[in-house]
Amino acid sequence: MKEKLKHYAKELIVFFIVMTLFANIMSYYRSTNLNKNSFSVTNMTLYDGTKFNIPKDKPLLVHFWATWCPTCKLEAPNIEIISKYYEVLTVVVKSGTDKEIQQYLHEHNYTFKVLNDKDALLAQKFRIAGYPTTFIYDSNKKLVFSDVGYTSSFGLFIRMWWCSL
């Protein structure tokens, strides 16, 4: 019995390692066509009408997501956590009116900053092909990391910490 448990545990570990590698390879492949330019916008108006000034001398995480995206729903708590410690701007794409976005955020207790990209114009500018997509810029707003798909809180923290050095 003990041998069977060891065997299944090994198989499970190998499965998770292979799936993690596969997910990272897919993320890298899907991110090759993203806009790699520096972040040049200095301020924007969020869904609630407030102005968001892009912070100088701080790293910035820009996260494209949608309310209808299942993976985005899984990753949203990670974005909420990271937004408590670092500058985060999220861009919700083709997900409804400002009022619908407000209701969605309220229902899920999310407080991160949100820009409503109703017509996906900003998503087109960044060449977003899949959701969620995350860009991480250093303090000079030069792109350091980009990722398509799910990213853990730990992965986001490590990348933001790296950009803070």
Domain ranges of the chain: 31-164
Q: Is 0.95 surpassed by the pTM of this model?
A: no
pLDDT band, very low/low/confident/very high, at 97 (cuts 50, 70, 90): very high
Nearest Cα to 158, choosing from 142, 148, 144?
Answer: 144
Q: Read off the tokens for 105.
A: 């955020």
In terms of CATH architecture, what is 31-164? 3-Layer(aba) Sandwich (3.40)
How far is 76 from 80, CA to CA, in rounded Å?
A: 6
- Could you report the per-residue pLDDT of 31-85, keeping only the tens digit for each? 555 556 677 777 889 999 999 998 888 999 999 999 999 999 999 999 999 999 9
Contacts of 144-147 spanning 24+ positions with Cβ under 8 A: 144/59, 146/31, 146/34, 146/36, 147/27, 147/31
